[in-house]
Amino acid sequence: MRRRRHDVVVVGAGPAGLSAAATAASMGRSVLLLDQAPRPGGQIWRHRAGASLPARARHLLDRVRESGAVHAVATVVDAPAPDTLMVDFGGRVDLVHTAAVVLATGAVERLLPFPGWTLPGVTGVGGLQALLKGGLQVRGRRIVLAGTGPLLYPVAASLATAGARVLAVLEQAPFSAVAKFGTRALRDPHRFVDAVRWRATAWRSAWHHDAWVVRAEGGERLEAVTISVGGRERRIACDWLGAAAGLVPRTELARLLGCALEGEAIAVDATQATSIPGIWAAGECTGVKGDAAAVLEGEIAGATAAGDGGGMASRHAVARGQGIAFGRQLADTFALQPALRTRVTPEAMLCRCEDVRVGAIDPAWTARQAKLWTRVGMGVCQGTVCGVACTALYGWEPPQVRPPLAAPPLAAWARWLTDVDSPTES
Amino acid sequence: MSGDVTIHLDGVPRRVPAGVTLAAALCNLEHLAFRRDLGGGPRAPLCGMGTCFECRLSVDGVAGTRACLIEVHEGMRVELTR
């Protein structure tokens, strides 16, 4: 075991984390920026070596590089105290001491069960894009996308650009709600131009509202999906299905640290401070509202964590409020239709880690009873996937978080136990 | 990014493009059953970003490695989880 010491530790290298790290480091603080992914950028700017990125992403990545912040590919395993993180640096577990933690843990997809969703070829919407960015070949592949919210647009466009046949794009929200949202979006020229460009790129696809997947079929892999459009069912043969029900803030580490939540998001004040002193949070983990708001919130969180006394927060107060208002519009417009919950059948897999089917659960149980009697949510993903589903289906609180958040290899634990406590370095 | 690398899939050498994630590389090879569930059903990547653990397999002797989080490298030894 080795001890490291930094003024500020930022968890998550997406737009919010990059911005927080660059800001705190440029104020002279020693900053450690942690992320599980091989390269910084988060999900939205996930890229392979040499891939092209939007100008604002390149600019932010440059800022981080020039700021002196240290980026490490690493996973937070535990948080024994708010000022101490146990971190797995690629098989070596170290203790990191810090005066300030900025949580920029982003969002995960809300993945709701439906019959056949464990078939290979069924992924999330962002999940499919992540695989594409990781090098998945989709040329000529038949793809159906089923989800909700603005994410459908860039994902459909990037798949079409890569040569896929995106047969259908299903938005679960009704047309009226999306149209109202679109009218508001006209006020933001950047968002509008992006939406039009993406939609034009995927012009061959059939776009439907009030539409979702009823079931997926196949043997060793996905072969077809049955979709519902405005209440009418139809079967489409396809190779890949990207299906999700929007995004949900990722809060495991925040909950482990004891930070209060507001709904599904980490509760923060105007300076991005959480309920626990010394811990700040920024970006999608404090509520889904897009990358522009995340960069801004990261700047506020980074500055406050570096001790600017709230100056950055006051300068950005108005823009921050606009970001939050946009987040509310997103949540209202793309609220889940009840059918996404009622489409589950008893045979549908609920907990994919422990192989617990929907039929094994009595919705009248508490989350704890369900855990004890079925092991739902007790598998290797720690309920990250099915916990969100159980909240949507049964109204259960998110599962209690226990360390390790992600189990390091056994060899790392062995080294942890046998290594002498070597001197601090930073 | 230049050229291909060789990975060993359950001992069988396969050439894959350098710089891709192991998850994408296996999908491109049509090796879609990354692991099997209790009923023997195939499982494959779902979230693509390291949260669902559906793509876990043994890489260079380390069990439980998430294929979506690592890139292929020359000589990588991959054992599908059974």
Work out the number of other CB atoms within 10 angstroms of the CB of residue A287: 25
Q: Across the interface, which of A49, A122, A407 has its CB nearest the CB of B19?
A: A49
Q: How near does any CA of chain A get to the CA of B48, in Å?
A: 4
Q: How many CA atoms lie within 13 A of A116 on its CB side?
A: 22
To which H or E segment does residue A31 belong? strand A31-35
Work out the number of other CB atoms within 10 angstroms of the CB of residue A209.
18
Task: Find where tokens 């006051």 sit.
Answer: A314
Measured distance CA(A219)–CA(A264) in Å, rounded: 36
Please report whether residue A408 resides in a domain: no
A233 and A119 co-located in one domain: yes
- B68 contacts A120? CB cut-off 8 A: no
Could you tell me if A313 and A271 are in contact, meaning their C-beta atoms sit under 8 angstroms apart? yes
Reported as type and span, the H/E element at residue A9 is strand A2-11
Per-residue confidence at B2, pLDDT binned at 50, 70, 90?
A: low
Domain boundary among A292, A311, A331: A331
Q: What is the 3-state secondary structure (H, E, C) of A101-119?
A: EEECCCEEECCCCCCCCCC
Taking the CA of residue B22 and the nearest CA in chain A, the distance in Å comes to 8
Which pLDDT tens digit goes with each residue over A317-343? Answer: 999 999 999 999 999 999 999 999 888
CA distance A395 to chain B (A): 21
Question: Helix or strand or coil: residue B44?
Answer: coil
Predicted confidence (pLDDT) at residue A425 exceeds the cutoff of 60: no
CA R_g for chain A: 22
Q: Enumerate the residues of chain A whose CB falls inside 8 A of the CB of residue B57.
A: none
Confidence (pLDDT) at A249: 96
For residue A129, the chain B residue with the least C-alpha distance is B48
CB distance from A353 to chain B under 8 Å? yes
Same domain, A196 and A126: yes
Q: Is residue A264 assigned to a domain? A: yes
Same domain, residue pair A385 and A325: no
Number of compact structural domains in chain A: 3
Contact list, B68 vs chain A (CB under 8 Å): 130-131, 134
For residue A121, which residues of chain B lie inside 8 Å, CB to CB?
A: 32, 44
Domain boundary among A217, A244, A271: A244
Contact A385 B52 (CB under 8 A): yes
Question: Is B70 touching A (CB cutoff 8 A)?
Answer: yes
Residue A86 sits at φ, ψ, to 5 deg, of: -95, 120
For residue A124, tell me if it sits in a domain.
yes
Instruction: Name which residue leads in pLDDT, A188 or A150.
Output: A150
Residue-wise pLDDT for A51-84, tens only, equals: 788 999 999 999 999 999 999 999 999 999 989 9
pLDDT digits (tens, 9 = 90+) for A397-423: 887 788 888 776 666 777 766 665 555
A389 falls within a domain: yes
Nearest CB among A123, A129, A409 relative to B45 is that of: A123
pLDDT bin (cut points 50, 70, 90) of residue A205 is confident
- Identify the band that residue A38 occupies on the pLDDT scale cut at 50, 70 and 90: confident
| A233-252 pLDDT, tens digit each | 999 999 999 999 999 999 99
CB contact under 8 A, B51 and A385: yes
- Cα torsion A402, A404, A410, A413 to 10°: value is -110
Rounded CA-CA distance B80/B57 in Å is 5
Considering only the C-alpha atoms of chain B, give the largest distance between any 2 of them, rounded to a whole number of Å.
41
CB of A359 within 8 A of CB of B26? no
Q: Does any CB of chain A come closer than 8 Å to the CB of residue B20?
A: yes
Q: In Å, how far from its chain's centre is CA A383?
A: 14
Contacts of A221 in chain B (CB under 8 A): 32, 42, 44
Stretch A352-378: mean pLDDT, rounded? 93
B24 CB near a chain A CB, below 8 Å?
yes
Mean pLDDT (whole number) for A192-199: 81
CB contact under 8 A, B51 and A411: no
pLDDT bracket for residue A125 (50, 70, 90): very high
Average pLDDT score, chain A? 92
Respond yes or no on whether ipTM tops 0.95: yes
- The Cβ of residue A198 has, within 10 Å, a number of other Cβ atoms equal to 19
Domain with A266 in it: 2-108+248-331
- Residue among A50, A120, A127 minimizing CB distance to B48: A127
Residue type, A213: V
Calpha distance A87→A9 (Å, rounded): 11
Asked if the structure places residue A369 within a domain, the reply is yes
Q: In CATH terms, is domain B4-79 a member of 3.10.20.30?
A: yes
In a domain, A409, yes or no: no
**pLDDT at position A426, please?**
42
pTM of the model: 0.92
Interchain pair B62, A409: CB under 8 A: yes
**A222 shares a domain with A101:** no
Q: Touching check for B29 and chain A: CB below 8 Å?
A: no
pLDDT at A186: 66
User: For A172-177, what is the mean pLDDT?
Assistant: 94
Let me know how long chain B is.
Answer: 82
Pair A205, A277 in one domain: no
Q: What is the CATH number of the domain that holds A230?
A: 3.50.50.60
Structural tokens at position A276: 């626990």
A125/A232 same-domain check: yes
> Which of A45, A131, A350 to mutate against chain B (most B CBs within 10 Å)?
A131
A254 and A72 in contact (C-beta within 8 Å)? no
Same domain, A122 and A214: yes
Q: Where among A311, A331, A351 does a domain terminate?
A: A331
Taking only the tens place, the pLDDT of each residue in A3-28 is 999 999 999 999 999 999 999 999 99
Which strands make up the sheet holding B62-66, listed edge to edge?
B12-17, B4-9, B76-79, B56-59, B62-66
Residue A343 or residue A283, greater confidence: A283
Q: Which residues pair with B15 in a beta bridge?
A: B6
d(CA B10, CA B7): 10
Q: What is the pLDDT of residue A294?
A: 97
Sign of CA dihedral A135, A66, A108, A385: positive
For residue A169, is pLDDT > 80?
Answer: yes
| Separation between Cα atoms, residue A145 and residue A156, nearest integer Å | 7
Of B21, B25, B47, the CB nearest to A127: B47
Q: What is the pLDDT of residues A137-151, one digit of tens each?
A: 999 999 999 999 999
* Whether residue A424 has pLDDT greater than 60: no
Q: Does some domain include residue A378?
A: yes
pLDDT confidence tier of residue A189, bands split at 50, 70 and 90: confident
Q: What b/e string do you get for A70-98 counting C-beta neighbours within 10 Å, with b at 16 or more? A: bbbbbbbbbbeebbbbbbbbeebbbbbeb
Q: Of B24, B37, B62, which has the smallest distance from its Cβ to A131's Cβ?
A: B24
| Helix, strand, coil percentages, rounded to 5, for chain A | 35, 25, 40
Q: How confident is the model at residue A202 (pLDDT cuts 50, 70, 90)?
A: confident
Q: Does a structural domain hold residue A402?
A: no
Calculate the alpha carbon distances from A60 to A298, A299, A305, A385 in Å: 11, 11, 19, 30
Residue A349's nearest CA partner among A381, A389, A384 is: A389
What is the distance between the alpha carbons of residues A259 and B25, in angstroms, rounded to a whole number? 39
Q: From CA A191, how far away is CA A291, in angstroms rounded?
A: 11
Q: Are residues A170 and A118 located together in one domain of the fold?
A: yes
Q: Which residues of B touch A379 (CB under 8 A)?
A: 53
